[in-house]
Amino acid sequence: MAKLETRGLSVGYHGKPLMKEIQLSVLPGKILALIGPNGSGKTTILKTIIGSLEPMGGVVLLDGNDLNRLKRGERAKEMAAMMTGRTEVEHATCFEVVSVGRHQFTGISGRLSEADEKAVQEALEFVGAEGLSGAEFSKLSDGQKQRVLLARALAQEPEILILDEPTSFLDIGYKLAFADKLKRLAREKQIGVVLSLHEIELAKRIADECLCITREGKIDRMGKVEEILTPAYVEQLFNIEEGEFARTYENPAPSHYNQGHHDPVRSETEHVAPGDIETRSFEIIGEELSARNIVLPEDKAFLIKRAIHTTADFEYAKTLCFSGNAIGRMAELIRSGADIVTDTNMALSGINKKELAKYGGEVHCFMADEDVATEAKTRGVTRATVSMERAAKWKKPVIFAIGNAPTALLNLRAMYDNGTFRPEFIVGVPVGFVNVEISKERIMETDIPYIINRGRKGGSNVAAAICNAVLYEMKKGNL
C-alpha cells in the first residue's frame, strides 16, 4: 500500500489552480523525483503535499487518511520536510536546531531524553555534520546549513520525507555522498521519499521513479527513471537542442584544462573536521590551479575560486569575464542599498540575505508571482521577460543576478537599446543551450557593468555564489 498518495490533486495560489489531476504515489523504501524546468511548479506540489498550501481540489492521503484532517502533531510523526528558503536562527547551536525535529516526542516539557539525544546525534552523523554540533547555526556556510536542516528533518524519524532541491548548495562530493546515503536510508528504514531535483544525473542515481513537469506546468510523464529520463526526452522537457544533452552529459568532451593534464587520484581518505571542509576545499582549489599553471588576477581570485568551489569546474578560471572595475562597482551598489533581482527561487534562496540587509538591500524573484505568470501567458512571452520589465520599474537601484533564463538578458538588452532602461549591474550566468551564449555576448557589447560567464555554463548556484563572494569580501573589509 502506498504510504503517500494524491488523488485528483489540484495545486495553486489564491484560489487559482496551476496544475490539475496530479496523481502520484510513494511506497515505503522508494524515492520519487520531481523533474522539470525552474518555475514549472515542483515546489508548489511539495508545499501542498506537506500542508503549507491548501489543495485547490482532490486530496493528499497519508496512510490512506486525508492530510487535511490530521492534526499537526500527527503529521509530524509521519512526515518531515526540508524546503527551499533561508532559515535564520540566532544564537542557536546546530544541535539545538536539529533537536527541534524531536519536539513531537518530547511532549510539553521539551526535554530531550537519552533516546532523543541519540537520534539527534545520529542525524548529524548521517549528513556528515557531527563536528558542527556545538557550532552556531547562523555562522555556517549555506552548504553546512543545508546539511543541518536535513538532519533536523531526519531527526523526526519520519516515514515520509519531503525534500525541495536538497542538493542545491552542496558541493559535488557532498551531492554524491548524499545521494548514496539517502538511497540506503530509504531502503533500510523503509522511508518513502519525494524530492525535487535539477541534476538529471543525480536523479538517475538516486530515484526509483520520476514525475516530469513541463515549463507550462503540465504533468507530462511518470514512471521508472531509467525508462523516462532518456537523453531525447530530457532535451524535449527542457527545450534543449537535439543531441546536445547526450553530447554534454552522456559523452562529454574533455575539459580544456584536462587535455594533457591528469590530476592524481588521492590514495588515502583525508580526515577533515566538518567545520574545516570549506577551508580545505579552497586549499585544494589553490593547489590544482597551481598544478594547471593557472594564475588568477589578484583582485578577482576570491570570486573565481568561489565559482569553482560551487561547481568543481576549473573552466570558470577561463570563462568568467568582468567589465572594468566590475567588482568595485557591484560593492558600491550594495553599499548604497541596492536590491538584487534574480530569475530563480534557487538563487533567491542562496544569496545571503542577512549580509545584504546590513546595507539595506533585499533579494527578489518575481518568476512565481501569479500576475507575472498571467501576463506572460497573455502576451505569449516568458515570465523572465515580464519579471525584468517589473524590475526595471523598481524604485531602488537593482543588481540583476541571472542564473537560468537567457530571455532575461535579451530583454534587458532590448530595454537598453530602446532607451527605456539601463541596468546598473548584471551578473549574467544562465545555463543551457538555446540563446544562452548569444544572450551573454549581447550584454558584453554594452557599457553596462557586468560579471558574465561566457559559453553555456552557469546556473542559479553560480549566480548566488558570485553575489555571496562580493558580500563576504565586503564583510571582511576587503572591498
| Neighbouring residues of 124: CB distance < 8 A, sequence distance ≥ 6 | 94, 95, 98, 130, 132, 133, 148, 151
* Partner residues linked to 82 by β-bridges: 163
Q: Supply 457's cell numbers.
A: 555554463
What's the fold here for domain 293-476?
Rossmann fold (3.40.50)
What is the spatial distance between Cα 198 and Cα 201, in angstroms, rounded to a whole number? 9
Q: Where are the alpha helices (DSSP H) in 239-342?
A: 244-245, 277-291, 301-311, 316-319, 326-335
pLDDT tens, 318-360? 999 999 999 999 999 999 999 999 999 889 989 999 999 999 9
β-pairing verdict for 31-35 and 192-196: parallel
H or E stretch at 464: helix 460-476
pLDDT tens, 94-151? 999 999 888 877 766 678 888 999 999 998 988 888 888 888 888 887 778 888 988 9
Q: Which is the catalytic residue, given 91, 256, 262, 309?
A: 309
* Partner residues linked to 452 by β-bridges: 321, 428
If you search the block for the grid coordinates 592524481, which residue do you land on? 264
Does 309 participate in catalysis according to the annotation? yes
Give 87's pLDDT tier (boundaries 50, 70, 90).
low
What is the spatial distance between Cα 343 and Cα 401, in angstroms, rounded to a whole number? 7
pLDDT tens, 194-208? 999 888 888 998 999
Residue 93, pLDDT score: 92
The CATH code for residues 4-250 is: 3.40.50.300
The answer to whether 44 and 306 have CB atoms below 8 angstroms apart is no
pLDDT tens, 305-318? 999 999 989 999 99
Amino acid identity, position 12 = G
* Rounded percentage of the chain residues whose pLDDT exceeds 70: 92
Lowest mean pLDDT segment, chosen from 35-39, 88-92, 163-167, 412-416:
88-92
Q: What is the pTM of this model?
A: 0.56
Residue 357, pLDDT score: 95
Can you count the helices (H) and strands (E) in the chain?
22, 16
Q: Supply 227's cell numbers.
A: 525508462
What is the spatial distance between Cα 161 and Cα 183, in angstroms, rounded to a whole number? 12
| Neighbouring residues of 197: CB distance < 8 A, sequence distance ≥ 6 | 33, 34, 35, 165, 167, 203, 206, 207
Domain with CATH 3.40.50.10230 in the chain: 293-476
Of residues 292 and 35, more confidence is placed in: 35
Query: Average of pLDDT values for 90-95?
Result: 86
Question: How far apart, in Å, are the Cα atoms of 236 and each of 17, 94, 434, 457?
Answer: 25, 42, 12, 19
What is the spatial distance between Cα 435 and Cα 438, in angstroms, rounded to a whole number? 5
Give 253's pLDDT tier (boundaries 50, 70, 90).
very low
Domain with CATH 3.40.50.300 in the chain: 4-250
Of 128, 53, 58, the C-alpha closest to 94 is 128
| Neighbouring residues of 299: CB distance < 8 A, sequence distance ≥ 6 | 327
What is the spatial distance between Cα 355 and Cα 144, in angstroms, rounded to a whole number? 17
* Rounded percentage of the chain residues whose pLDDT exceeds 90: 53
Give the DSSP per-residue string, 72-106.
HHHHHHHEEEE-SSPPP--S-BHHHHHHGGGHHHH
Label residue 93 exposed, middle or buried (CB < 10 Å: 0-12, 13-18, 19+).
middle
**What integer best gives the mean pLDDT of the chain?**
88
